[in-house]
Structure 1
Amino acid sequence: MRNLHIAVERFPIAGKFTISRGAKTEAVVVVASIEEGGARGRGECVPYARYGETVDAVCARIESVRAAIEAGADRGRLQTLLSPGAARNALDCALWDLAAKSGGVPAYALASLPTPAPATTAFTISVASPEEMAAAAARANWRPLLKIKLAGAGDPARIAAVRAAAPDATLIVDANEAWTEADLSSHLEACAEAGVALVEQPLPAGRDAALARIQRIIPVCADESVHARQGLADLADRYDVVNLKLDKTGGLTEMLAMAAEAEAAGFGLVIGCMVATSLAMAPALLLAGRARFLDLDGPLLLERDRADGLVFEGSVIHPASPALWG
């Protein structure tokens, strides 16, 4: 007999995490646990207001399929019960974990993927004044890959300040939809002058057609503009890379399918995350070897991670232990 448990957990952020849409000081996550035959599978998600999600609504969506899950619904059935989003992610990853624990077979083997290897993640610098961002970049300038959050007006000065403070790091920037068509070219030129390797979601989703009309002097990555496979076809003339996140795709099942389709269409991959614990990162690590950039620094931004969390050596993440997930 199966039992589903739903829990809301809070983890303080070290300092403050700030993007163009605002700041937060804690990560609020929803954990779905499925117990069956003495085994327990877990999945963690982050309800995201940008996509119209709240903690209560995500919990209610998980609760709405309790009967089906406890009656034995598998990952395939789950795809028809819930649309992409945080609720389906928690359940899907819990079902992967449960299958691995029940069968004694690692999740990567169940997915016919190679054995995970240690991989280097980006480390995020929150948006602030150029001086504040330079100071944060200087403290992190020993890390090989920095992700710089931007906010629109004043971004060329932020980019230049960070580059001066971290001259040897590879930089990727994330505008979180904050740029406009009017400043697109000048901001891209500022990125090029600083040697930025990737620009993520410069324009608002649904208002990004200008990306097809310019010469993209730096690879541009879609984040808010794409969630699951059905949105990929609309990106071909505007983006070079897609950011895959479990909370957008609604779990590992769709992420795997989307990764394959995106690669077949010629897109590069970024494997990203919301600010969350190691439990939310672990399933995404299965795709680390296929990513142009890995952005799974959520646990590094927290004051504390959960027990049996991922092992970080600097910016290098080691694969999850079975005690954590998979």
Structure 2
Amino acid sequence: MELYFELKTLQLKETFSIAYGNYNRREALLVELSYLNYKGYGECVAIDYYKINLKDFVIRLKEIQELVEKNTIIHPTEFFLFLSALNLHPFLKSALDCAYWDLFGKLENKSFIELNHIPSGSLVESSITISIADIEEQITKIENSSWNKLKVKCKGLNKNNIEKLLRLNRNIALDSNASFTDQDCLWLQESEMITQFSYIEQPRPVGNYKILDKESSANWMADEDCQNLSSLAELLPYYKSVNIKLTKCGGLTPALEMIRKAKDLGYKIMIGCMTESTVGISAGCVLAGLVDFADLDGANLISNDPALGNYVENGKIIQSGNPGLGIILK
């Protein structure tokens, strides 16, 4: 097996504004694993609020390259055990795990969905992100959107804006990216009208969730608070829903385990993404048959997508059914 990797810059179609900052591009690390002329792809992106430095990842890949390339073709769950012994950052582990699933499926001539017996008939729709902006600008974007589900970014809580959004009678979720106060959360979860929002994501900074009550009107959804399998039991009294992202938990292999555990605990589950190319989005799309919500619009936000594969069109998740994750570089 051979390992190849390169850094790429993903240009955004427009400025992406969230509570953590404004972004016009994302730096990405593309990972390729190949064997017998078959190639599998994975990706991770530099997210400043996760303190991701892709140059450090490149150094680490060079350190482990020989070990990776010595591997014969084994089942992806065995390959993940190998990766887990290398003490890798979850973002980097995710890129390698996804690349291996893509390669393995191509070698077996079976899709990830076939290999894991995942339903693919009736899939949830993905939301599209509405960046932070003046509320009238956000409303104009919502009214002009052909997507059925929308996720509106907030920086702090404005009660008048909440009422304006609810009057639109659209399928809207809120994402504060940890910018709400305890008082904001108390007001939200005591208000019956909040049930009209499909979910409210990561209201408080990481670890400050004990003000939340899962039995309230609000469908609180954990994002940054929910990093891996061990988070699920601790968050149970506070959150109704969790956002599982491949990069956070370390790839498709642990995501499958997290989904099973989250279902057992009674959570509603979202498969989410970062601002990624089709390489990353293709991996998220294969899990759509297992979840209640999807937020897989990352590739729709960039202008120089380097790949083809599974994709989202006006919210509809299109699974190619091709071997592996179905990823092809342009």
TM exceeding 0.5: yes
Aligned to 2:76: none
Task: Tell me whether 1:158 sits opposite 2:161 in the alignment.
Answer: yes
Task: Tell me whether 1:50 sits opposite 2:49 in the alignment.
Answer: yes
Q: Is the 8 A contact 2:127 2:296 kept in 1?
A: yes
- Offset at residue 198 of structure 1 (A): 0.7
After superposition, the C-alpha distances for 1:79-105 in whole angstroms (9 at most, x for unaligned) are 222345210111000110110111212
Read off the aligned partner of 1:144 and give its amino acid letter: N
Read off the aligned partner of 1:192 and give its amino acid letter: M
Q: Distance in 2 between matches of 1:312 and 1:115?
A: 14
Q: Distance in 2 between matches of 1:194 and 1:96?
A: 38
SS in 2 for 1:81: coil
Task: Tell me whether 1:222 sits opposite 2:226 in the alignment.
Answer: no
Q: Distance in 1 between matches of 2:97 and 2:270?
A: 21
- Offset at residue 317 of structure 1 (A): 1.8
- What is the root-mean-square deviation of aligned Cα atoms in Å? 2.2
Q: Is the 8 A contact 2:186 2:211 kept in 1?
A: no
Read off the aligned partner of 1:209 and give its amino acid letter: K
Task: Tell me whether 1:120 sits opposite 2:119 in the alignment.
Answer: no
After superposition, the C-alpha distances for 1:95-144 in whole angstroms (9 at most, x for unaligned) are 1011011121222222232346654110110111212211221221x421
Q: Is the 8 A contact 1:84 1:249 kept in 2?
A: no
Matching of residues 130-169 of structure 1 within 5 Å: 130-140=135-145, 142-154=146-158, 156-164=159-167, 166-167=168-169, 169=170
Q: Distance in 2 between matches of 1:68 and 1:5?
A: 13
Read off the aligned partner of 1:183 and give its amino acid letter: D
Aligned to 1:15: 14
Matching of residues 47-126 of structure 1 within 5 Å: 47-72=46-71, 74-83=79-88, 85-115=90-120, 119-126=124-131
After superposition, the Cα gap between the structure-2 partners of 1:116 and 1:95, relative to the gap in structure 1 and judged at 3 Å, is farther
Q: TM-score, normalised by structure 1?
A: 0.90
Read off the aligned partner of 1:143 and give its amino acid letter: W
Aligned to 1:316: 316
Q: Is the 8 A contact 1:28 1:46 kept in 2?
A: yes
Aligned to 1:271: 271
After superposition, the Cα gap between the structure-2 partners of 1:113 and 1:90, relative to the gap in structure 1 and judged at 3 Å, is same
Aligned residue pairs, count: 320
Matching of residues 183-222 of structure 1 within 5 Å: 183-188=184-189, 192=193, 195-212=196-213, 215-222=215-222
SS in 2 for 1:208: coil
- Offset at residue 311 of structure 1 (A): 4.5
After superposition, the Cα gap between the structure-2 partners of 1:127 and 1:106, relative to the gap in structure 1 and judged at 3 Å, is same
Aligned to 1:172: 173
After superposition, the C-alpha distances for 1:16-43 in whole angstroms (9 at most, x for unaligned) are 1111110101122111101112211110
- Offset at residue 189 of structure 1 (A): 5.4
Identity of aligned residues (%): 27
Matching of residues 22-33 of structure 1 within 5 Å: 22-33=21-32
List gaps (5 residues or longer) in structure 1: none
After superposition, the Cα gap between the structure-2 partners of 1:34 and 1:220, relative to the gap in structure 1 and judged at 3 Å, is same
Q: Is the 8 A contact 1:163 1:194 kept in 2?
A: no
Read off the aligned partner of 2:18 and give its amino acid letter: I
List gaps (5 residues or longer) in structure 2: 73-78
Q: TM-score, normalised by structure 2?
A: 0.89
Q: Distance in 1 between matches of 2:28 and 2:192?
A: 34
Q: Distance in 2 between matches of 1:243 and 1:123?
A: 15
Q: Distance in 2 between matches of 1:299 and 1:191?
A: 35
Q: Distance in 2 between matches of 1:282 and 1:313?
A: 13
Structure 1 stretch displaced more, 259-268 or 46-55: 46-55
After superposition, the C-alpha distances for 1:167-203 in whole angstroms (9 at most, x for unaligned) are 2x21111111111112212244568358212111111
Q: Distance in 1 between matches of 2:226 and 2:88?
A: 14
Q: Distance in 1 between matches of 2:116 and 2:82?
A: 17
SS in 2 for 1:210: coil
Q: Distance in 2 between matches of 1:7 and 1:201?
A: 32
Read off the aligned partner of 1:64 and give its amino acid letter: E
Q: Is the 8 A contact 1:117 1:319 kept in 2?
A: no
After superposition, the C-alpha distances for 1:130-170 in whole angstroms (9 at most, x for unaligned) are 12211221221x4211011111143x233333344x42x21
Q: Is the 8 A contact 2:277 2:305 kept in 1?
A: yes
